């Protein structure tokens, strides 16, 4: 997916938000905004939004001297999600279609995103709505068939906290099918994206193998990923890509991918004929 002019104000908002978390010094915050403003004329609109966001956040981290400003928020997100895990596990196991319920919860977990969102999300309310509502973009029947046919699955994670919801879905997939699952997280901190540290905190690494992708882009940019990740990507029977960033970076890649996300902005929502905030389970070939 290319970058649109509509994305540029969002980059400024994200840069200012991250700078304010990183430092209370208004002069440094102003330097961040000035630096991003200087970058705008060179933003190539033919690359994906996460690739530009990567440049923006690198500038924020360099100027503020803080390379993980959302560390505390990530810790809180993991703790909150872990506190909900036992209850959500029971909901999944007691539902008429546990795999569908786990998908809905995994998508609800994608609300834990400190990048494109303007306002914090009420996670409890989001979960309740997700469980009570149909998917707005629904390729679940196709997804279920692909899960049944697959022997290997690559799961591209997104955010801290959210990976607890991913754990629910992965456990349900592994319970229903004999399938080898590998989860991929970010190499280094970027926004509130999940890293190996987060995977270990939520004990996801004790469920399935977890590897880092070699990149600090807030998405899966294959050209930046390690050879190991690219090899697994190319050989996997099925790929699950979580979050809007992964949708933006992989929506034009020819592979058997299913995207699970909440649409965070009109640039993504409108072409899918859904509303901002809606739940999406979309196959690449749909």
Whole-model pTM: value is 0.95
Same-domain status, 135 and 248 = yes
Residue 181, classed as helix, strand or coil, is: strand
Same-domain status, 215 and 101 = yes
Same-domain status, 58 and 78 = no
Closest CA to 268 of 247, 282, 286, 253: 247
Same-domain status, 35 and 129 = no
Final residue of a domain: which of 36, 64, 92? 64
Asked whether the beta carbons of 15 and 218 are under 8 A apart, the reply is: no
Note whether residue 51 is domain-resident: yes
pLDDT of residue 40: 96
Asked whether the beta carbons of 59 and 36 are under 8 A apart, the reply is: yes
Average pLDDT for 82-88: 97
How far apart CA 226 and CA 214 sit, in angstroms, is 5
Tokens of 26: 């208004």
**CATH number, position 259:** 3.40.50.10880
Asked whether the beta carbons of 28 and 279 are under 8 A apart, the reply is: no
Q: Domain of residue 170: give its range.
A: 71-283
pLDDT surpasses 80 at 256: yes
CB count, 10 Å around CB of 149? 12
Number of domains, the chain: 2
Note whether residue 219 is domain-resident: yes
pLDDT of residue 229: 98
Asked whether the beta carbons of 233 and 255 are under 8 A apart, the reply is: yes
How far apart CA 61 and CA 15 sit, in angstroms, is 10
**CATH number, position 50:** 1.10.8
Same-domain status, 26 and 149 = no
């Amino acid at each position: 997916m290319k970058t649109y002019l509509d994305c540029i104000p969002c980059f400024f908002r994200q840069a200012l938000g991250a700078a304010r978390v990183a430092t209370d010094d208004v002069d440094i915050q102003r330097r961040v905004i000035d630096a991003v403003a200087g970058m705008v004329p060179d933003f190539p609109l033919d690359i994906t939004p996460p690739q530009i966001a990567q440049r923006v956040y690198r500038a924020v981290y360099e100027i503020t001297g803080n390379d993980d400003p959302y560390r505390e928020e990530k810790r809180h997100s993991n703790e909150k999600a872990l506190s909900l895990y036992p209850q959500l596990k029971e909901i999944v196991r007691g539902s008429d279609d546990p795999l569908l319920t786990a998908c809905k919860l995994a998508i609800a977990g994608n609300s834990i995103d400190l990048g494109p969102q303007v306002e914090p999300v009420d996670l409890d309310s989001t979960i309740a709505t997700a469980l009570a509502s149909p998917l707005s973009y629904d390729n679940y029947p196709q997804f279920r068939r692909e899960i049944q046919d697959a022997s290997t699955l690559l799961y591209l994670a997104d955010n801290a906290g959210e990976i607890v919801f991913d754990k629910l879905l992965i456990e349900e997939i592994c319970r229903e099918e004999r399938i080898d699952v590998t989860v991929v997280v970010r190499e280094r901190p970027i926004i509130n994206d999940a890293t190996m540290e987060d995977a270990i905190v939520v004990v996801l690494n004790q469920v399935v193998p977890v590897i880092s992708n070699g990149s600090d882009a807030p998405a899966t940019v294959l050209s930046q990923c390690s050879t190991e990740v690219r090899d697994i990507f190319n050989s996997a029977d099925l790929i699950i890509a979580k979050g809007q960033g992964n949708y933006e970076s992989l929506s034009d890649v020819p592979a058997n991918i299913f995207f699970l996300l909440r649409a965070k902005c009109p640039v993504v929502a409108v072409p899918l004929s859904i509303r901002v905030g809606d739940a999406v389970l979309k196959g690449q070939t749909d």
